[in-house]
Amino acid sequence: MTADPDVRLRADARRNRDQILAAAKAMFAEEGPDVPMEEIARRAGVGVGTLYRRFPDRDALIKAVAQDNFAQVLAEAEAAEGEEPTAWEALVRLLSRSRALRLSVHLALLSPQAWATIREDPQTQHFRDEIMDVLDRIVAGAQREGQLRSDVGAGDVAVLVSLLLKRVPAPKDTADVVTDRVLALMLDGLRARPGSPLPGRVLTAADLRDR
């Protein structure tokens, strides 16, 4: 029995979209968000017309990359919260998975114009808000358990997640070891125990929502 042409067409469209997003992420990371759209199409193995049918302009493509990145982080956060037996273990898992994700394009490193495009996108903002809500719950739970220091907020954890998503400035053959060490230092510093108080005030989710 032959496949339904409509189903096959939808599958082709999804594959093209995935290929374009993968190419855009790689090229944004390598050359920045102003890389020619034609080069992205070539890297994706699709025609320029196909790219523009999916993403009518550069802003649309930048938004799609941002949405995909935030969706990955949100999925990891929700899975950690829902599947781990304690909030502290959920926090450890989320930070560990953030280290493993190593998103190819770190959004904060994009140009001011690209970042402005992302910030103005309602869907991207929705993902960011959902992530911060999950972090709020995990942080509050880990503090109730007595595992997480009391002078840490969801905003502080969001910054740590953001740092772990970046590629570390280390040679390729040592990058994993360096990142593991950074993660271990982060977790050790987050634990509730006698020690030096953090400077400044707690960084909350609300502090980051408008950035």
pLDDT digits (tens, 9 = 90+) for 75-100: 999 999 999 999 999 999 999 998 87
pLDDT digits (tens, 9 = 90+) for 32-83: 888 999 999 999 999 999 999 999 999 999 999 889 988 999 999 999 999 9
Whole-prediction pTM value?
A: 0.81
pLDDT reported for residue 200 = 86
- Residue 191 β-bridge partners: 148
Q: Roughly how many angstroms between the first and final C-alpha of the chain, as a whole number?
A: 54
Q: Scanning the structure block, which residue is given the tokens 């899975």?
A: 79
Residues with Cβ within 8 Å of 18's Cβ and at least 6 positions away in sequence, in order, are none
Task: Provide the pLDDT confidence category of residue 104 given band limits of 50, 70 and 90.
Answer: low
Q: Judge whether residue 1 has pLDDT over 60.
A: no
pLDDT digits (tens, 9 = 90+) for 108-133: 556 677 778 888 889 989 999 999 99
Nearest to 31 by CA among 95, 114, 91: 114
Residues with Cβ within 8 Å of 148's Cβ and at least 6 positions away in sequence, in order, are 87, 88, 91, 139, 142, 190, 191, 192
Under a CB-based contact definition with an 8 Å cutoff, are residues 59 and 121 in contact? no
d(CA 208, CA 29): 24
Task: Provide the pLDDT confidence category of residue 158 given band limits of 50, 70 and 90.
Answer: very high
Where do the domains of the chain lie?
Answer: 1-56, 57-208
- Domain 57-208, what fold? Tetracycline Repressor; domain 2 (1.10.357)
pLDDT reported for residue 202 = 87
1-56: CATH number = 1.10.10.60
Better pLDDT: 197 or 172: 197
Q: 120: buried, middle or exposed (CB in 10 Å: 19+, 13-18, 0-12)?
A: exposed
Query: Which tokens go with 17?
Result: 């979209």
**Mean pLDDT in the chain?**
87
